[in-house]
C-alpha cells in the first residue's frame, strides 16, 4: 500500500506541466487548448505494462467494477458469484446493476473457495467475480476451469493486487475482464481512480461508451454532435488523476520489489507455531502489500494486535475494518448475508491479523517485528 508514500517532486512536476500545457483537466475535447491527452496516454502505458488487449481508465475502482459488469450485460434478474471476504464495492456494483450477489466462502488463501463455486451456479449466473484480496491471487486455475465448463465469464477484482502475478501474467488480465483501484491506499495511487481490463473487443467498446455517457466518440465529428451507442453514465477519469498515474506506474516495479523484501522478512522470520501463514496458490506471486497470519489463540491474537500498535505497524482491515470487508455485516443491501458460507468466512477472518507492508519502515524493522511476534505466548 505504499503508493502515497512515494508521492514527491515527480508528481508535483507532472501536475505543473499539465497547467503549463493548457490546464485542461477534462479527458475529452478542448483540442485547441491542450497539447496532450493524458488519460489516453495512461491507458496506453497500462496496456504496455500489463500486456493486455484494452485498458480503460475510470474514476474509481468501484466504477471499474460497475463498468466491467455492464460490459458483460449484467442486469436485472442476473446473479453474480463473488466472495464473502471482499470490499463492499463489489456488492454495491452488483446490486446497482439490478443483479443479486451470490456469496462463496474462503479457502486458506482467504479468497474464493473453488470447492464451493460449482454448487452456487444457476441458470441465472451471469458472471463469476473472484477477488484477489490484500495482494494474493485467488486459485484461478480451478475457478477458470469451473467457469469454462459452464460457459460463464470471469471478472477478476484485482483492486488490491496490482503487481501480483499468476502463472507469469499479471493478476487482473486473465479473465474476460479485470479491475484495479488507484485510491489513496493502494499500491499506486491517482488519489481516486480505477482501471478496467477488457479482453474482448465488443466488451471493450461497450465499456468505453458506457463510462462516458454512451459517447461513441466517432472520428471527425465534434463531441457535441457525437452519438450515443449505449445508455451510459459518467465514470471518467480526469487528466489530473492521469498525470499522477503515469508517474506512479513508473514506480510500481520498485514498489513491488521493495515490498517483497519486507514481506519475505516476515514470512521467513515468523517461526512460532501459534501462527498459521496465509496460503499463496502455486504459480502465484503476491503484490506483497500485506502479510496475514491466522492466530487461533484469542489471547495471543490480542497481544499481537497490541504489539503491532506499540511498534508502529498497526493492522490493515483485519481486524480494524471488518465491517467494510465481510459481507455478513451488509444487511442494509437487501440480500441474504447469513448463509453458512458467509458465517464461516466471518469466523475465519476473526482469527486473522493483517500486517501492512510499508516502505517507510526498513526491512530490519520487519525482521524485528517477526522476532517480537515469535516471543508472544498466552
Residues recognised as catalytic:
186
User: H helices within 9-51, ranges in order?
Assistant: 9-20, 38-50
- Secondary structure class of 269 (helix, strand, coil): helix
Say which DSSP state 56 is in.
E
Give the C-alpha separation, 106 to 342, whole Å.
9
Give the C-alpha separation, 166 to 104, whole Å.
21
Q: Residue 272: which of 310, 301, 309 has the closest Cα?
A: 301
Per-position DSSP letters for 184-211, written without gaps between them: TTSSS--BS-EEEEESSHHHHHHHHHHT
Output the 3-class SS for 96-108. HCCCEEEEECECC
Give the C-alpha separation, 244 to 71, whole Å.
27
Residue 171 · residue 164 · CB < 8 Å? yes
- Cα–Cα distance list, 67 to 88, 165, 242, 337 (Å): 16, 23, 18, 25
Q: What is the dihedral of CA 10, 24, 232, 79, to 10 degrees?
A: 10
Distance from the Cα of residue 65 to its chain's centroid = 9
Amino acid at each position: 500500500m505504499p503508493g502515497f508514500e512515494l508521492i514527491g517532486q515527480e508528481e508535483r512536476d507532472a501536475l505543473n506541466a499539465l497547467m503549463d500545457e493548457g490546464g485542461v483537466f477534462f479527458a475529452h475535447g478542448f483540442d485547441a487548448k491542450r497539447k496532450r491527452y493524458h488519460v489516453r496516454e495512461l491507458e496506453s502505458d497500462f496496456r504496455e505494462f500489463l500486456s493486455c488487449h484494452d485498458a480503460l481508465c475510470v474514476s474509481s475502482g468501484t466504477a471499474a467494477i460497475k463498468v466491467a459488469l455492464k460490459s458483460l450485460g449484467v442486469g436485472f434478474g442476473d446473479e453474480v458469484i463473488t466472495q464473502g471476504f471482499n470490499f463492499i464495492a463489489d456488492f454495491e456494483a452488483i446490486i446497482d446493476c439490478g443483479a443479486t450477489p451470490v456469496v462463496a466462502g474462503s479457502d486458506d488463501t482467504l479468497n474464493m473457495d473453488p470447492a464451493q463455486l460449482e454448487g452456487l451456479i444457476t441458470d441465472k449466473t451471469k458472471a463469476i467475480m473472484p477477488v484477489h484480496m490484500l495482494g494474493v491471487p485467488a486459485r484461478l486455475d480451478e475457478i477458470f476451469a469451473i467457469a469454462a465448463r459452464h460457459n460463464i465469464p470471469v471478472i477478476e477484482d484485482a483492486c488490491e493486487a496490482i503487481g501480483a502475478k499468476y502463472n507469469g501474467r499479471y493478476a487482473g488480465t486473465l479473465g474476460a475482464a479485470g479491475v484495479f483501484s488507484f485510491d489513496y491506499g493502494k499500491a499506486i495511487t491517482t488519489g481516486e481512480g480505477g482501471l478496467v481490463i477488457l479482453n474482448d473487443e465488443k466488451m471493450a467498446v461497450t465499456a468505453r461508451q458506457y463510462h462516458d455517457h454512451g459517447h461513441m466518440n466517432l472520428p471527425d465529428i465534434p463531441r457535441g454532435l457525437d452519438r450515443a451507442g449505449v445508455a451510459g453514465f459518467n465514470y471518467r477519469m480526469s487528466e489530473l488523476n492521469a498525470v499522477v498515474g503515469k508517474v506512479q506506474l513508473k514506480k510500481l516495479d520498485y514498489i513491488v520489489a521493495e515490498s517483497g523484501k519486507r514481506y519475505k522478512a516476515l514470512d521467513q522470520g515468523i517461526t512460532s507455531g501459534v501462527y498459521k501463514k496465509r496460503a499463496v496458490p502455486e504459480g502465484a506471486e503476491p503484490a506483497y502489500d500485506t502479510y496475514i497470519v491466522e492466530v487461533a489463540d484469542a489471547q495471543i491474537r490480542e497481544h499481537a494486535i497490541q504489539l503491532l500498535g506499540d511498534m508502529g505497524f498497526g493492522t490493515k482491515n483485519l481486524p480494524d475494518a471488518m465491517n467494510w470487508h465481510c459481507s455478513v455485516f451488509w444487511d442494509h443491501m437487501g440480500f441474504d448475508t447469513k448463509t453458512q458460507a458467509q458465517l464461516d468466512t466471518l469466523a475465519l477472518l476473526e482469527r486473522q491479523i493483517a500486517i501492512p507492508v510499508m516502505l517507510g519502515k526498513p526491512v530490519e524493522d520487519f525482521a524485528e517485528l517477526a522476532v517480537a511476534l515469535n516471543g508472544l505466548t498466552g
